[in-house]
């Protein structure tokens, strides 16, 4: 039986990967220490998801371990000798990073280095899938010519119609401290692939979402927006008239790409992983989509100050992914994503 190690296994992506690979017959080991609750408070707590996995997923073992624990990570990888690794553990908020810069860098950059080095020493042939972020591009996408439409911003130049590709610059832009720590991790993943010949990829995610997300204001845009509507909370919009655009990809499609890469790995690759243009929406458009499902008006307030390094319009160019892995595609459309997240929050809060 093949053995998979998943970090951040109680989070949205990690838990989806756990379920997906367990269903394929893998023995799955998860690493998580519920740091999301430390970073974001009770709203970010993921123990419920850990308990769900332990209760329902056959062949899953939870390991209470922080990726910053270098000796612990090394010992675990040495003992397990995994056949593949999916690294989803992170401090994921560019706003929160400014208040906890050492925790942010130690988790995102040093934690990734700890895991890469342990895999190089003890499981060097194992494909290594790392969840990076589109924040590695900083706010450079905002330099592209944009056009303002009734409910969203969009790219003005036809050359940008497919979205942001992997050769877009990551230099001379404002990343936030979170973006900087993720750049460090992203480049390390590439370097271990190229320098040591390991099979690695960095997935530069857009809005990765789904019903298992513990969305909070500082991370988890779509999940948190839906939760606010279901609970009758007021959602705060930060700048850009609420017309800022994000592409949304369901966590199941994310797990499917991890499977595709592990089955046919490459060395030191980067991919922009998001929903693409078809699954993109603005905040204003997201309001309409959730209101149509709950029949509850979206209470919101507007803050003219946008978040530092925030994108005005961002959606992923998926052509490289599709060229390298033609068997993979987006299978869950935007409206179905909303259906699942609304149902999940209703069930969780009932």
Looking at residue 65, its pLDDT comes to 98
Q: Is 201 left (phi over 0), alpha (psi -120 to 50) or beta?
A: beta
Tell me how far apart the alpha carbons of residues 95 and 73 are, in angstroms, rounded to a whole number.
28
| pLDDT computed for residue 95 by the predictor | 82
In 3D space, the residue among 255, 349, 234, 201 whose CA is nearest the CA of residue 301 turns out to be 234
pLDDT tens, position by position, 219-234: 788 999 999 999 999 9
At 217 the pLDDT is 84
- pTM metric for this prediction: 0.95
Contacts 24+ apart (CB under 8 A), 169-174: 169/137, 169/140, 170/136, 170/137, 170/138, 170/140, 171/140, 172/140, 173/137, 173/138, 173/139, 173/140, 173/309, 174/138, 174/139, 174/308, 174/309
| Ramachandran area for residue 270 (φ above 0: left; ψ -120 to 50: alpha; else beta) | beta
pLDDT at 218 over 90: no
Strand, helix or coil for residue 138: coil
The secondary structure element, H or E, covering residue 325 is none
Mean pLDDT for the chain? 96
- Per-residue pLDDT at 262 exceeds 90: yes
Q: What is the pLDDT of residues 76-130, one digit of tens each?
A: 999 999 999 999 999 988 788 999 999 999 999 999 999 999 999 999 999 999 9
- Chain segment 227-254, per-residue pLDDT in tens: 999 999 999 999 999 999 999 999 999 9
Domain ranges, residue 87: 3-349
Extract the tokens encoding 8.
């951040």
Find the mean pLDDT for residues 209-220: 83
- Identify the CATH number of the domain in which residue 49 sits: 3.40.50.720
Average pLDDT value for residue range 269-276: 98
Give the number of domains in the chain: 1
Q: Is the Cβ–Cβ distance between 98 and 67 less than 8 Å?
A: no
């Amino acid at each position: 039986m093949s053995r998979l190690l998943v970090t951040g296994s109680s989070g949205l992506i990690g838990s989806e990967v756990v379920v997906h690979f367990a269903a394929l017959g893998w023995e799955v080991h998860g690493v998580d220490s519920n740091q999301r609750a430390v970073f974001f408070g009770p709203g970010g707590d993921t123990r419920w998801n850990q308990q769900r996995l332990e209760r329902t997923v056959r062949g899953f073992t939870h390991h209470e371990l922080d990726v910053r624990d270098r000796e612990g990570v090394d010992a675990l990888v040495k003992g397990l000798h995994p056949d593949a690794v999916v690294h989803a553990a992170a401090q994921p908020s560019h706003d929160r990073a400014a208040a906890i810069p050492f925790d942010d860098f130690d988790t995102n950059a040093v934690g990734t280095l700890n895991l890469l080095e342990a895999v190089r020493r003890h499981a060097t042939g194992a494909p290594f899938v790392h969840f990076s972020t589109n924040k590695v591009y900083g706010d450079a996408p905002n330099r592209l010519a944009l056009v303002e439409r009734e409910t969203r911003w969009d790219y003005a130049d036809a050359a940008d119609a497919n979205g942001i590709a992997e050769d877009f610059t990551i230099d001379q832009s404002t990343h936030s401290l979170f973006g900087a720590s993720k750049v460090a991790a992203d480049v390390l993943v590439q370097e271990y692939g190229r320098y040591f010949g390991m099979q690695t990829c960095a997935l530069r995610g857009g809005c990765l979402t789904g019903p298992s997300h513990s969305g909070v204001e500082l991370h988890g845009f779509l999940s948190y927006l839906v939760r606010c509507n279901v609970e009758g909370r007021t959602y705060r919009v930060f700048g850009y008239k609420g017309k800022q655009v994000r592409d949304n990809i369901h966590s199941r499609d994310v797990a499917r790409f991890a499977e595709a890469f592990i089955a046919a790995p490459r060395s030191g690759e980067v991919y922009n992983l998001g929903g693409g243009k078809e699954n993109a929406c603005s905040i204003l458009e997201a309001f309409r989509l959730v209101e149509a499902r709950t029949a509850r008006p979206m209470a919101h307030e507007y803050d003219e100050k946008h978040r530092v390094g925030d994108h005005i319009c961002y959606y992923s160019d998926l052509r490289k992914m599709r060229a390298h892995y033609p068997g993979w595609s987006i299978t869950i459309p935007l409206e179905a994503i909303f259906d699942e997240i609304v149902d999940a929050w209703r069930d969780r809060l009932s």
